[in-house]
Amino acid sequence: MNYRDLFDLSGKSALVVGAGSGIGRAVAAGLADFGARVVCADVHAQTAEAAAAEVEERGGTARAVGVDITQEDQVRDLIGGLDALDILVSTPSINVRKPLLEVTAEEFQRVIDLNLKGSFLVMREAGKRMAEQGSGSLIFFSSIRAQVVEPGQGVYAATKAGTLQMIRALAAELGPRGVRANAVAPGVVETPLTAQIKNRPEWYRAYAEKGALGRWAQPSEMVGAVVYLASDAASFVTGSLLFVDGGWTAVDGRFTPPL
């Protein structure tokens, strides 16, 4: 065996949900660079088209499609209409940063609908297809908030913990059918979702200093984890939560004691 081939995705078909921006856009380009044919899906069709065009400019193969993953029929039609599906990556999330006692029922439902219900619908439809063919890799973006939380993150954290637990259930249920299911837990990444923090220098700096590396991540730094989980290099990896958090969850408070 040539171990370099473990990461080769040539001939594989990948669907990236949330490919229009941020982590999803970087992941779509990364999977294509390793040989996968990529379908770039996003709720904003124009950004999906821009992502697909970027992949093709890099020499890859891609096409774009618009999809709202909170709508069951749209998810079913998208996944059912694919020519092939070997890799599924899902990134979309929203957040409402408020103390839990101030979150309205409408705000709660909006976060749940996308982050949890949407993830469930994609998992279910992609999982069915992969189970029928006896192979596939499901990769969903959870978060460090699945494990640790702070004031204002209660509902978001609940959805990310829920996504992780559904992935673990799928790993158990679909393992015998040859399907792997894993989650990725980013720390702080510079994306449209975190623009609110970047616009407040003291908040941005505090988050940077909390991790062991002392900085934020770029979306491109999530690509390696996804390529690994999508590839044969991770052929015995399922039900896992892969932290890509710059040491956030490993470091206790970032206070440096006078040793």
Would residue 144 count as lying in a domain? yes
CATH classification of the domain holding 231: 3.40.50.720
Would residue 31 count as lying in a domain? yes
Q: Which of 156, 204, 207, 228 is catalytic?
A: 156
For tokens 């996504």, the residue is 163
Alpha carbon distance 131, 109 (integer Å): 30
Would residue 61 count as lying in a domain? yes
Number of domains in the chain: 1
- Let me know if 156 is a catalytic residue: yes
pLDDT in tens, the chain (259 residues): 899 999 999 999 999 999 999 999 999 999 999 999 999 999 999 999 999 999 999 999 999 999 999 999 999 999 999 999 999 999 999 999 999 999 999 999 999 999 999 999 999 999 999 999 999 999 999 999 999 998 999 999 999 999 999 999 999 999 999 999 999 999 999 988 788 888 888 999 989 999 999 999 999 999 999 999 999 999 999 999 999 999 999 997 765 656 5
Would residue 258 count as lying in a domain? no
Q: Which domain holds residue 204?
A: 8-244
- pTM score, whole prediction: 0.95
Would residue 101 count as lying in a domain? yes
